[in-house]
Structure 1
Amino acid sequence: MTARIIRAFTSQASWWFIAPSLLVLAIFLSGYFLLVKASLLHPLPGRFDGEGPLTLDNFERFLRTPSEWRVLLQTLKVSAGLTIAAILIGFPVSFAIVRAQTALRRFLIAAFVLTLLSGTVTRAYAWLIILGNKGVINGTLIRLGIIDSPIPMIYSNVAVSISLVHYILPFFVLTLIGALKNVPRALEESAVSLGASRLSAFWHVTLPLSLPGIVASSALSFSIAVSSFIFPLLLGGGRVRFVSNEIYDLIFVNFDLPMAATSAFIFLLTSLCAVWLFSTLQRFAGGRLHRQAH
């Protein structure tokens, strides 16, 4: 009898501990339910909201609109390219920081952390100053006599890509540093002591052990890039459009909330598929390492 009372009390107490988490989860999920509902409404001309009955016409309109597909594919393509650039730049930087002396390593990590403290708007305007027609780069090249007229760099894919790489690189590096710290350096030294070169030891030992961390850092970088809004808006000049900019215009320019909700819902599903792909790659890399260890 006493054991039954204890089990009942423990069960009720556990629900009290879980209840706040369930409440927070329900609040967040309610936003997605409202998003789905708004995507199924009929748009009302001259009004911001929509009306029933629920319909799939907005999804059909999205699928038949080439511009919506073009913006979605451009967002995914640019974000994938930025993720590859983050890997090519961020991995050597992270590896060098992990292998650096303690004082230098702390200084470099602090520099990346300080970079995160500056907001997106600040960094976007900083790149406008650097890449503008009268900016730092063009001004320096003109004074040196290398060029006679400014090189147009802003309002292009190049400007958006440079600014976004600068923005996502600290996230990639700081995430990968934690993963690289867990790679035992003794394994690489053992491979060298057994006759392997430094490059061979890195390629066959260090890099494979770093793959799960690289995939996790890449997933974070892709998620940040694909949801970017400020950098395409300020440095794209309307020529480079991401899905977030398209959704903003559908709401505040076209006043078409149902279509904006439809675009947001399709974009959410696409992003979740990309995150699932990264998660699958991470499990594959971890499973491969586990099999090799045994």
Structure 2
Amino acid sequence: MPTWFVTGASRGLGLQIARAALAGGDAVVITARDPDSLPDDLRQSERVLGTALDVTRDEDIARAVEAAVDRFGGIDVLVNNAGRGLIGALEEITDAEARSLFDLNVFGLINVTRTVVPVMREAGHGKIVHIGSQSGFEGTPGASMYSASKFAVAGISESLSVELGPFGIQSMVVEPGVFRTDFLDSSSLSTAAHRIPAYDGTPAHQALDWTIQANHTQFGDPAKGAALIYEVTCQDKLPAHLALGRDAVERQHVKIAQLQDDLAAWQEKSSATARDDAV
């Protein structure tokens, strides 16, 4: 019976991933800052351990991982889902706002992963699923800091997929588009406190308008998205990237075509920058 360890699992995609794993017959460690907020149907299952975890607190991480190992004997799948968003033009975002975002989205993920990896190394196997974003594959105007945090997640995942390969541990980044969760609520999405009127009518502020209009009308179904994440994770080999949602698939095709065009336009001159005496 594989054991899943899911951060930020009290709602949204994390909650649906936990439900998918439970429905698949697996054991699930469901973590949240407030474990009392976890739904009763999950807390009452013998195959579920609900535990408090704020991924920005090292002591919480160590305690939660230890509890998971004590209860189920190990961790087979780590799902790094905890995170939040930040909207605003780069010029509007303060250092404090940016650092707070990275503490959760990036350093929290790093510290959870760093704590779980020894458990997986000792077992000789494991899978790490990082919940990134389409905004971590293609930069989003008005969300530059959020995009930067999710680009970091993608880079970490790609590196880990090679770095941890010798230990039988795989890594995948999931890049969802828009799904109908609470992500656009103020509880998960912050807006830069300082607003510069010069950006009104430009893409940076249009992003904020979009979040207001799109909240709870997004076309992505989180239960279906979680079911696909579960299906893919159960395969023998994980893909490096998993685009999740129709919009994510479409935009990734656009971005890949753009990268190919940029590469073709300058590849000859770029290659010619090598030293003449290079072997």
Is TM (by shorter chain) over 0.5? no
Smaller-chain TM-score bracket: under 0.3
The structure having more radius of gyration, on CA atoms, is 1
Q: 1 or 2, which has the higher strand percentage?
A: 2
* TM-score in terms of structure 1 length: 0.22
Identify the structure with bigger relative contact order (alpha carbons < 8 Å, sequence gap 6+).
1
Q: 1 or 2, which has the higher helix percentage?
A: 1
